[in-house]
Structure 1
């Protein structure tokens, strides 16, 4: 059984804890929050025994071997370093780190602690439907690009309109649409097509200076991939991968709860499965599989592939921000 510690007590942490419990591979032992009452409330709700509001004490006294980090984006890096130094396996909510400098430092640190495992929690690439897309993509005689859309209005934007600056809309905390919903679309693109040869990002900035929404273009040798994402508007547009006359259609680029194949005469067939399960369950199971048997050759191959993909996504996110002249505090 994997003994789990968590940093962050928001809704996505709750969702991961529920997925971890459902997987049968984890038990939640330790909860850290800057506010002890918040930690106690989360621990009571999820039957955790240990609560902390002191981060050093959390790492030295908490009885956990694997840490899930869902703090504000800008804080991930320092907390991840502490976890690795304390020999804790590490699951970091996307986007794991702000830029390649931070990512490279983490990779170098992992080499010093070879028994520590690091995962970026990008749930979409672990779903069975993503694997179905990968398989179907290989069957298309011709591929002519794709467009991936993931747009959901954030209730935190109401605060921005009222004059406040929530973390997810703050340059101080590495916020913005690209750093949130946009990560899923970048994972889709690189996970399916590899690293692009060129790229550009066209953001729509909001009052706080972050991108509330935007469109990115990834250029490949024979086609382009268009990424659309937003935290200040909704979209119910499907995502599509284009063949010649046929295409693969996704309900959205983040959850991927349904995938259809549309043939050359317009007939649509559902492939994969229509899922209403906790969307974090597949990644929780994948991470547990590696943690529980890190020496298995197949597990090692998957781990290396996910690690390389995390590095590539980090690099592309940074280059997209550079193209739009978006810089975070401390960069």
Structure 2
């Protein structure tokens, strides 16, 4: 089948990554770029086939009316995701929107309902759950490799250079609740989505944020997910400090470990009785958005609505968890 002609909203580094990695699958082709400034759109497009056959738009309405595209990848600021996704779906375009897709579960439910009503596909770009080694981890958890689950800890602590800007008195978007910022919405959603994908939606959730007093946002924190039979999952994430600790799943038969929650190099099982480890992972894909781009393209091309429902279920569960704990902690984002 011919590659999917798509457009992008947002001209930052993650958008460049998605375009180049999507092109590497052979299943996507960039056909339009949106930016508020034409020069910015032109510069972005020039990096792909010298901008040939790529339309430039400076209004969302013009992009929505572009008949040369069938899908749109959205990586605008978090607070604009809902508005942009809604406009594209209303115009009959399939949508891939960066995480977090929206700031409320009601907004997300509305978008999925709109997509269904128009026979369109809507995906939230949780890239890590599509990685080969994450799929290995999930397969082993589902198969009961560790036996009865006793606990798990998932981490994503990555110091942000923008935190130094905060300390200088600035208020960058990533630490600004009005723009959908904060550690939970920026990095914590990786941990929440991984936990939900591995173990399902929790019965209860409690967040202990580390606040950034200068902005009123959470700069990091610990989120505890409670499941049945005393099984708890602890999520630790931050943009204020770094941690190299791994992600682990503990059970009566042993421990499954991945070194990082994204860009996963391998999967290891540790048998505490034999006191030895077993490497179970596969070679990591160098282009870290290629696997999700391939998954979405295959679903688009096959018209596989059942597969979409699987990812919709994940997105809605993540939205419910993050919304609940933000409200509990008073981390109200504009529109919440």
Q: Does 2:285 align with 1:281?
A: no
Residues 103-112 or 180-189, more deviating = 103-112
Q: CA deviation digits over 1:222-241, x for unaligned, max 9? A: 21000000111111001100
- Which of 61, 80, 83 is matched with 1:56 structurally? 61
- Number of residue equivalences: 326
- Which of 215, 219, 223 is matched with 1:216 structurally? 223
Which residue of the partner structure matches residue 209 of structure 2?
A: 203
Which residue of the partner structure matches residue 79 of structure 1?
A: 84
- Which of 313, 317, 322 is matched with 2:327 structurally? 322
Which SS does the other structure have where 1:292 is aligned?
helix
Distance 1:313 1:182 in 2: 10
Report if aligned partners of 1:181, 1:254 keep a CA contact under 8 Å in 2.
no
RMSD over aligned Cα, in angstroms?
A: 1.3
Distance 1:22 1:330 in 2: 37
Which SS does the other structure have where 1:61 is aligned?
coil
Structure 1 runs of 4+ aligned residues shifted over 3 Å read: none
- Which of 78, 83, 107 is matched with 1:102 structurally? 107
Distance 2:48 2:175 in 1: 29
Which residue of the partner structure matches residue 128 of structure 1?
A: 132
Which SS does the other structure have where 1:144 is aligned?
strand
Which SS does the other structure have where 2:261 is aligned?
coil
Distance 2:34 2:64 in 1: 10
Residues 162-171 or 282-291, more deviating = 162-171
Report if aligned partners of 2:207, 2:325 keep a CA contact under 8 Å in 1.
yes
Which SS does the other structure have where 2:333 is aligned?
coil
1:209 positional shift? 1.0
Which residue of the partner structure matches residue 179 of structure 2?
A: 173
- Which of 31, 34, 59 is matched with 1:29 structurally? 31
Q: CA deviation digits over 1:142-186, x for unaligned, max 9? A: 211100001111122222122111111111111011101111100
Which residue of the partner structure matches residue 255 of structure 2?
A: 247
Report if aligned partners of 1:178, 1:229 keep a CA contact under 8 Å in 2.
yes
